[in-house]
Amino acid sequence: MHERTRAHLAIAGTTLIFGVHYSVAKSLMPDIFSPAQLIFLRLLGGVVVFWLFQRLFVPEKVDRRDLLKFALCGLLGFSLNQALFYFGLNLTTPVDASIIHVMNPILVLIFAHLIIREQITWPKVTGITLGATGALILILYGGTMDFGGKHALGNIFVLLNMVFYALYLVLIKPLVGKYHTTTILKWVSFFGFIFIFPFLIKPAMQIQVTAISITGWAGLAYIIALNTFVAYLLINYALKQLSPGVVSYYNYIQPVIASILTLSAGQGAITFPKVFAAFLIFSGVYIVNRQKKGAPISENM
């Protein structure tokens, strides 16, 4: 199997994991864990599994000059990204959060052009437009976005979460060509946890371990093992072969996954708007993945 095909399969698997994560995380907050407690446990779990895995299988050393880059990526991709997502999701709804996440490919396209000079081409713009249109049809067909009260604050948090995640995808790209994926995630997760530790240690000490149900432990295991360890491994692996923009385009598939989960639970039905939306989403992904050296829209945007 071609390496680029494996990279696409890897990011598709990540998209599936992230799509399920909305419901899992929302089910844990705030009755089982507060957002601060869930963030602390996720980051702590990530540090432990990445350090153990890297030490056992990839004992690679890093250039000290790159530690600052790892620290910045840890701040953006682990500390700020995850903290803002959980605090935001606790105040808003999975529907609102998924609508905002549709902006991720657009943010990545802009940051990639400004920071690493990735060209903005017409196929990319076309793919983004089709994907964003399909995702919005799919999500808005089943509900509307809430801008009132705590929901508004939650939506702002999720929007900032997307900004920092987009920056992370762009800034981590040069490092994935230099180090093994597990080495990168070992250091990124470590710095992310260090940055957030002073703010979360107090609520973390208030966790009542004996009061956590089996469902709570299962949800936490999903978030640490799949949504943190496996998903980030797959993202960094995909970035070795694909651009940050292409990786981010798969966010458009997350609303499709959410709809499938809803249908499987008997809470919805297959309708023409949903089928049409899915067609637009997959068409956008196809166009972006097929384009090679499309003519740039502007070299000086």
Using one digit for the tens of pLDDT, what is the confidence trace for 236-265?
A: 999 988 888 778 877 767 666 766 665 565
Contacts of 63-69 with C-beta under 8 Å, sequence gap 24+, read 66/175, 66/178, 66/179, 67/187, 69/171, 69/174, 69/175
Using one digit for the tens of pLDDT, what is the confidence trace for 95-138?
A: 667 767 777 787 888 888 889 887 778 887 887 788 778 767 76
Scan for tokens 């991720």, then name that residue: 104
Residues in the chain: 301
The confidence score (pLDDT) of residue 274 equals 63
Separation between Cα atoms, residue 188 and residue 191, nearest integer Å = 5
